[in-house]
Amino acid sequence: MPADDRSGAGRGGLNRPANAADDRSGAGRGGLDRPARQRQLAPGRLVLASHNAGKLREVAALVAPFGMQVVSAGELGLPEPAETEDSFIGNATIKALAAARAAGLPALADDSGFSVASLGGGPGVRTADWAELPGGGRDYAMAMAKVAALAEPHADRSAWFTCALVLAWPDGHTEGFEGKVQGSWVAPPRGERGFGYDPMFVPEGGAETFGEMDPAEKHRISHRARAFALLEAACLARPAR
Ligand SMILES: O=c1nc[nH]c2c1ncn2[C@H]1C[C@H](O)[C@@H](COP(=O)(O)OP(=O)(O)OP(=O)(O)O)O1
Ligand SMILES: [Mg+2]
């Protein structure tokens, strides 16, 4: 039996680490119980590099079993860097590195978004922008109405969420992982739970939207949970009990 308890890593097997193509020359070093090609996150303080309350709630719950002392970027008064990349991993890397360097602590960032097949994968990395109001602030009801109006003429209703999680250290090292959940879009939006675009997404094989379902159920199948399972397998150890 393997010495580590993470043999179920990447549960569902749908996703691969975004850095899978990295060179593996560090594999097997140092007598660890699994190949150490990814840097391990040591117990201690961890910055959650997000200003989105819905995400912070979900990411904090994912990290909770690992005994880290989490603090959010907002609590530390860290600025929000511009998200100028055109990939989820790219923007999560910007956010994680900015926070890690500013705080002098490891930081975990999430860049995520909603994609509609008939819109060529849009809004995708621009998902948050579609909710921005000209005067500042966000209106997700408006954003969901915009997506539905553009997608309405198309028979293909498939949609998905993507989440990139990037861990960064103050020395500039990063580890990134991406998870997706497939499903379809619905209009009008349904449900008051969750956040963002949750009320317009029904995961494959389900009937309820992410906005209607029990948060524990979203947590079990979400893009964020899938990205986190990869991160856990690569970089985290559960504290001994
Ligand atoms: O599980 C989700 N359920 C519903 N909506 C979601 C989800 N995950 C991401 N989303 C939406 C919200 C936001 O409009 C965009 C992410 O944009 P993104 O820039 O990554 O996050 P953000 O600006 O809200 O917070 P921050 O950058 O401080 O982490 O996708
Ligand atoms: Mg953002």
Task: Determine the pLDDT at residue 193.
Answer: 97
Would you place residue 19 in the very low, low, confident or very high pLDDT band (cuts 50, 70, 90)? very low
134: left (phi over 0), alpha (psi -120 to 50) or beta: alpha
Among 55, 88, 220, name the best residue to mutate to test ligand 1's pocket (greatest count of ligand atoms within 8 A of Cβ).
55
User: Among 3.90.950.10, 1.20.120.140, 1.10.10.10, 3.90.1820.10, what is the CATH number of 42-235?
Assistant: 3.90.950.10
Q: pLDDT at residue 240 above 80?
A: no
Q: Which two tokens stand for residue 42?
A: 């040591």
List the residue whose alpha carbon is closest to atom 17 of ligand 1.
128
Tell me, in angstroms, the distance from the centre of ligand 1 to residue 219's CA: 15
Length reported for the chain? 241
Instruction: Give per-residue pLDDT as tens, 143-183.
Output: 999 999 999 999 999 999 999 999 999 999 999 999 999 99
Annotated binding site: 50-55, 111-112, 195-198, 218, 223-224
- ipTM value: 0.99
